[in-house]
Amino acid sequence: MIRRLDHVYYWVSDMDRAVTFYGDVVGLRLARREGPSWAMFEAGSDVRLALHGAVEGRPIETGGATAVFRVDDLDAARADLEVKGVRFDERVGEVEGYARFASFFDPDGNRVQIIEYASRDRGE
């Protein structure tokens, strides 16, 4: 039986660049690294974000799942990431009375989001 979400991973073409992005720019703690083929970050309580290095002869797959990170202040988090060179979609999405969110992209074009819930009891 399914117990819980363990991790989400993205394909990346340059592991060093991707590890720098998710560690230094996004601010996740690197938990494990296996050279150019795999890296795993702690992304909250028992959830991990992983990076899978490119496999020769196989194109990088982007556009699948989207990792969404909770923030307390969407505008402040977005401003902090933009100062670090992160490219965002222009639009900030909103589900009235529930949450606001913004999408950005990692160096390989994978979509990532930040979300701010309207109240602390939402999205738990």
Plot region of 123 (φ>0 → left; ψ -120 to 50 → alpha; else → beta): left
pTM of the predicted structure, to 2 decimals: 0.74
Read off the pLDDT of residues 20-68 as tens digits, 9 standing for 90 and up.
999 999 999 999 998 998 999 998 878 888 888 877 777 666 666 788 8
What's the confidence (pLDDT) of residue 61?
67
Distance CA(91)–CA(104), nearest Å, equals 10
For tokens 């991973």, name the residue: 9
Read off the pLDDT of residues 71-123 as tens digits, 9 standing for 90 and up.
999 999 999 999 999 989 888 888 888 899 999 999 988 888 898 989 755 55
